[in-house]
Amino acid sequence: MKLLCKTSDLLQSLTLVSRAISGQQALPILGNILLEAEGKRCKVSATDLELSIVTSFEASIENEGSITVPAKAILNFAQYNSDQEVLLETSEGTQLKCTSKHAKTLIAGEAATEYPTITPIEKQITFTLDAIPLLDALHRVTFASTKTSLRPVLSGVYLHAEKGHLTFVATDSYRLSEYKIPTKASNIDISCIVPTKVLEELRSILSSRKPEREEKSKGDEKDTEKKSKPEPTLSPVEVALSSQQIELHIGATHLLSRLIDGRFPDYKQIIPKEQKSTIHLSVRELTPIVKRMHYFAKEINNNLTFNFSKESVHVKTPQTQAGRDEATFPAKVKGEANKIALSSSYLLDFLSHADGEGDVELTLTDSMHPAVFRFPSNPLYLHLIMPLRLQEE
């Protein structure tokens, strides 16, 4: 194998695929990255046997071939090489020479035949999703899944199709996020649990490619005309599903992952049917209050008690060794006066994913049922937080 490429292209590809390498590898070779030169592109791959990431970049290839090298070694070279171009060449079958204007590095690798084969899935269902709504769904859902492996089905995101929408759901049994995005494939039958890790990698890739919006100049009409052109958009994400795997295509990058086996809880049963109180709160006003009170609330189970009257909200922390805190601020309250205790930690997680939202609508039944949050500007999103025990006065 012998090829000439841009150092920036190499580094970008290595950084991307290395995210599939876990801290604890079942096999030493899983700490490697596979390089394959063919035609006019160099393909770069990594896997931990659960998640695989494959991408490629343009290169001037003199000799086709392949090799697998330790991720840390090749990343170290690419990251700290300031030369614009680098020549990659295999030597003695299992060594990789990395040569640039001011550097000459030799990395000991292994034959590509020793690396696990990353096989495209046998596609049973295929469809495409618009990238922008998908990115928003991932941003508002994945954080709610559990971070432990005690209940594997809760460490993923449940995908199911219904009535022209693809619904994303994640829960750790104490909170839940649901987001629906329209899909053109209205007749697809989807019901699967995708590992949160693969969707977070997808979100990272989409975020890095999301075009920056240009701000319009108020005083320059010509500038306004130029910037009234359609903004650049992200390419759709191609999705392929089999009974046990999912494959996601974003341009030249592919993500492949196993699906989580098991039955996702019937989450719709816990969404309250009855709503006795509806409260409209300012995200901008609520967020700093919860951040301030979390200092005291975290001492006793993150407990924050909310009392809702006709035109205001009173929120307080329990008395702790560190002290206590309380605040009253205006709110639009419809229905009955109500109260509930919620986790300050979960509230902060939710509010940190409320980018660009002005108001949030909170609906309550009573202190024993979950609090349901919605954004008036986005009716396809729902977040639910289970109540805590009310602290005695």
pLDDT at site 22: 86
Burial 52-80 (b: 16+ CB within 10 A, else e): bbbbbbebebeeebbbbbbbebbbebbee
Q: Give dist(CA 89, CA 67) in Å, integer.
A: 10
Distance CA(180)–CA(178), nearest Å, equals 7
Q: Does domain 2-114 have CATH number 3.10.150.10?
A: yes
pTM of the predicted model as reported, rounded to 2 decimal places: 0.89
Confidence at residue 269, expressed as pLDDT on a 0 to 100 scale: 94
Looking only at the bridges linking them, the beta strands covering 312-316 and 303-308 are antiparallel
251: left (phi over 0), alpha (psi -120 to 50) or beta: left
Counting every residue, how long is the chain? 393
How many Å apart are CA 148 and CA 196, to the nearest integer? 11
CB 98 within 8 A of CB 77: yes
DSSP label at 48?
Answer: -
Question: CA dist 233 to 95, 131, 183, 236, Å?
Answer: 41, 8, 17, 9
Whether domain 125-210+234-258 has CATH 3.30.420.40 = no
Distance separating alpha carbons of residues 79 and 261, to the nearest angstrom: 38
The position carrying tokens 């659960």 is 50
Structure tokens at 185: 């494939």
Give me the torsion for CA of 266, 270, 274, 277, rounded to 10°. -140
Report the pLDDT value the prediction gives residue 230, as an integer from 0 to 100: 52
Comparing 2-114 with 272-385, is the CATH topology the same? yes
| Residue 220, pLDDT score | 47
- Tell me phi and psi for residue 383, to 5 degrees: -130, 135
**What is the pLDDT, as a whole number, of residue 196?**
96
Q: Which of 354, 329, 316 is nearest to 140 (CA)?
A: 354
What is the three-class DSSP state of 365?
Answer: coil
Give the start-to-end residue ranges of the domains of the chain: 2-114, 125-210+234-258, 272-385
CA dist list (Å): 214 to 128, 132, 134, 135, 204: 27, 17, 22, 19, 22
Q: Give which of 78, 100, 90 is closest to 35, Cα–Cα.
A: 90
Element of type H or E holding 107: strand 104-108
Phi then psi dihedrals of residue 162, to 5 deg: -160, 135
Helices (H) and strands (E) in the chain, counts: 7, 26
In the predicted model, residues of the chain with pLDDT beneath 50 are: 213-227
- Of the CATH numbers 3.10.150.10, 3.40.630.30, 2.40.10.220, 2.40.30.170, which one belongs to the domain with range 272-385? 3.10.150.10
Q: Are 331 and 348 a contacting pair, CB within 8 Å?
A: no
